[in-house]
Amino acid sequence: MATQERARATRERIIVGAAETFDRNGFATASLTDIAAAAGVTKGALYFHFKSKDELAGAVIEAQHEAASRSAATMVLTNAAALETAVVISSGLALRLQTDPLTRAGIRLTTESSSFDAPIRGPYEDWLATFETILSAALAAGDLRPDTDPAMLARFIIPSFTGIQIISEVFTARADLSERLAEMWGIVFRATVTPERLDWALDMVDRHLRR
């Protein structure tokens, strides 16, 4: 059992070291030597757990996505209004992008997935499905206009978030990410929220993203 625990701890340390390296250098220029150094392990130990850089990148993406999904699931359970859940999820992810190397690395690797042997689709598919479910609940609650298509709106919001965080990183190292997301939600809500709920929705965006 002690050996298994040490192996698990070593694997987690490698994933953390890989996240820090991928976050700093990107997939293409990160080397396994750099990752081993960041993790404080030998290359032999690294190869024992991961056979290639692609496999290690996949582990970082999986770890980041699992953490984000757990957080999103908690928010779904604790927020009564579906639209507020959507905004809170985006706000939480924005904060983690500003503060957590694992989140930054996972998102960066996902956007760089064309560099891998096989493109990474899973996280995008999960987020599209999650937001379609949330938006369907908002439609059923009467918060969205009756002609709103939840799947179509999810296909707009997820790529919009992806592009906004990339541009925010380029221009301000994501310092303005919350403000840019507030602008995104303002545009989305003005186009889709019912008139009687619009003031509430815009105030809610301010509360979570401009506090």
More confident residue, 77 or 172: 172
| 103-117, 136-150, 155-169, 186-200: range with lowest mean pLDDT | 103-117
Confidence grade of residue 115 (pLDDT, cut at 50, 70, 90) = low
Delineate the domains of the chain, giving CATH numbers in brackets: 61-209 (1.10.357.10)
**Residue 79 pLDDT level (bands cut at 50, 70, 90):** low
If you write DSSP's letter for every residue of 156-200 in order, what string do you get? HHHHHHHHHHHHHHHHHTTTTHHHHHHHHHHHHHHHHB-HHHHHH
For the chain, the average pLDDT equals 90
86-92: average pLDDT: 93
Q: Give residue 75's pLDDT.
A: 61
pLDDT of residue 78: 55
Identify the pLDDT of residue 1: 47
Q: Which amino acid is at 128?
A: L
67-81, 137-151, 191-205: least confident range? 67-81
Q: What span, in angstroms and rounded, lies between the C-alpha atoms of 188 and 182?
A: 10
Task: Assign residue 118 a region (left: φ > 0; alpha: ψ between -120 and 50; beta: otherwise).
Answer: beta
Please give the structure tokens belonging to residue 102. Answer: 């694992």
* CA–CA gap between residue 201 and residue 204 (Å, rounded): 5
Query: pLDDT-derived band of residue 5, with 50, 70 and 90 as boundaries?
Result: confident
Residue tagged 């998102």 (tokens) = 107
Is there a contact between 138 and 196 (Cβ–Cβ < 8 Å)? Answer: no
Give the Å distances, CA to CA, from 109 to 21, 24, 97, 191: 11, 11, 13, 32
Place of tokens 């541009």: 167
Nearest to 21 by CA among 8, 39, 9, 46: 39
* Average pLDDT over every residue of 7-17: 92
Q: Are 166 and 180 in contact (CB under 8 A)?
A: no
pTM: 0.83
- What pLDDT band is residue 160 in, cutting at 50, 70 and 90? very high
For residue 128, what are its two tokens? 């599209």
Q: Are the C-beta atoms of residues 94 and 120 closer than 8 Å to each other?
A: no
pLDDT at 69 over 90: no
Tokens representing 117 are 């042997």
Integer Cα distance of 97 and 108 in angstroms: 10
Decide if pLDDT at 91 tops 50.
Answer: yes
Q: Which of 94, 109, 64 is nearest to 169 (CA)?
A: 94
pLDDT reported for residue 13: 93
Listed range (55-59, 97-101, 116-120) with the worst mean pLDDT: 116-120
pLDDT tens, 121-154?
Answer: 778 898 999 999 999 999 999 999 999 999 999 9
